[in-house]
A and B are shown apart, each in its own frame.
Chain A
Amino acid sequence: MENLRYEYPATRPVPQRAHVGVVGSGDLEILLSPSESQHAEVVIRTSVDGYEHVWKSVLDRFFSRYDGAARLELNDFGATPGVVMLRLAEAVEASEGDAP
């Protein structure tokens, strides 16, 4: 198990908190809430060690399009980058109020 942490610059306030996913095999859950500070922070707990570079590249890609000052907590049980991107998109959609 690994604990990873990332920060990205961001100032746009997050409209509402959101939760998506489950910590099942090949999946992850994401808690999205307003960050306490003037940037976005990502805290990851993952069951699979040694993929720090993959997480970094997934998050770099995500934050190139998302500018919310969010705190993202990811509890991961071996999701692929594709599943991670999907869940991140779901979390943002729920947070921006597009989904019920």
Chain B
Amino acid sequence: MSAHDTFIAQHSFIELTARERARALLDAGTFRELIGPFDRLESPWLAMQNVVCQSDDGVVIARGKLSGEAAVIAAIEPAFQGGSIGEVSGAKIAAALELAVREFEAGRKIRPVILFETGGVRLQEANLGLAVIAEIQAAIVALRRYVPVVGVIGGMVGCFGGMSLAAALCSRLVMTRQARLGMNGPEVIEQEAGVEELDSRDRRLIWSMIGGEQRTAVGLADALVEDDTNQVRDAVLSAFERGVPASHRTEQVDAQLERLARVDPSAIDPAVLRTLWQGDA
């Protein structure tokens, strides 16, 4: 295929809305949304703060099939409030994962996928956003015993805050080059620790530290893909085909402490980290 043909054939995943992403990943014709816009389950907290609601509160839950197998996708919409997690949007994700657990308890199967595109807790809902993220995390830990929980970080918002912990709990994590995964956004680091600690405007530095390519290279994500829907879908399907890993990253406490011990905090940067951590299982 020529470069021109490749360009034309490429279907950007990032440019799609959450709804379109979920539809594009599921087998054609199988998309069925749960608690969609016409259910009008909105945030109970935004109107009193003069913020306009979105009818689905910024999360799309869709059932369907992935390679013929039952699946459920939770897709966060980055355009609404930066994909931030509020009471309802978080509850939709938690409910879908909790129901997926019940499927396995009833002897059935389902493939869960989370499309992370979020800055973390929605500040206008603070403690309810934080609480529901704990519930999402609890459900991921329970669910991933039965089936891989597959996370995708597409960009451009990336995955930050409490939801970065949820992403780290996933069995497999797919990232594009444009995606970032970190606990605290660069602006927050700069605010809290000063610009000498981190210059949040240095985009090259940011991506070199927490972008998809770096995260995959040092073993903090599992698959690096281009911004192309077919590649994302292939990576998601491949993650399910590999099955539940023998152990999850978060369980490998001794190995991870050993990796951390190799690091000299006074002389560490993205390139040095690759030499220290690349090639670990």
User: Are chains A and B touching directly in their complex (CB below 8 angstroms)?
Assistant: yes
Evaluate whether A22 and B17 lie within 8 angstroms (CB atoms) in the complex, with A1-B52, A29-B54, A76-B52 already known: yes
Q: How far is the CB of B148 from chain A (nearest CB, A)?
A: 29
Q: Which of B38, B47, B50, B80 contacts A22 (CB 8 A)?
A: B80
Decide: A75 and B54 in contact? CB cutoff 8 A: yes
Residues 47-86 of B contacting A (Cβ, < 8 Å): 47, 50-55, 77, 79-80
**Nearest Cβ in chain A — how far from B193, in angstroms?**
28
Q: Is A31 within 8 A of B52, CB to CB?
A: no
Q: Assess whether A77 is interfacial by the CB under 8 Å rule.
A: yes
Does A33 make an interface contact (CB < 8 A)?
yes
| Distance in angstroms between the alpha carbons of A22 and B53 in the assembled complex | 10
Q: Which of A1, A29, A73 contacts B51 (CB 8 A)?
A: A1
For A77, the chain B residues whose CB sits under 8 A away are 52
- Chain B interfacial residues counted at CB < 8 A: 14
Q: Which residues of B contact A81 (CB under 8 A)?
A: none
State A22–B78 Cα separation when bound (angstroms): 10
Contact A1 B38, CB 8 Å, known A22-B54, A23-B53, A47-B52: no
Closest CB in chain B relative to A86 CB, distance in Å = 15
Determine if A29 and B50 form an interchain contact, defined as CB atoms under 8 angstroms apart: no
Q: Which residues between 171 and 214 of chain B lie within 8 Å of chain A, taking CB atoms?
A: none
Chain B contacts with A in 81-136, Cβ cutoff 8 A:
none
- Contact A31/B38 with A1-B47, A47-B52, A76-B52 known, Cβ cut-off 8 Å: yes
Interface flag for B37 (CB, 8 Å): yes
Q: Is the CB of B36 closer than 8 A to any CB of chain A?
A: yes
The 3 closest A-B pairs by CB, nearest first: A24-B79, A1-B50, A23-B54
Interface residue ranges, A against B (CB under 8 Å): 1, 17, 19, 22-25, 27, 29, 31, 33, 45-47, 73, 75-77
> Can you list 22 A-B pairs with a CB-CB distance of less than 8 A?
A1-B50, A1-B52, A19-B37, A19-B38, A19-B55, A22-B17, A22-B54, A22-B77, A22-B79, A23-B52, A23-B53, A24-B79, A29-B37, A29-B55, A31-B37, A31-B38, A33-B38, A46-B52, A47-B50, A75-B52, A75-B53, A76-B52
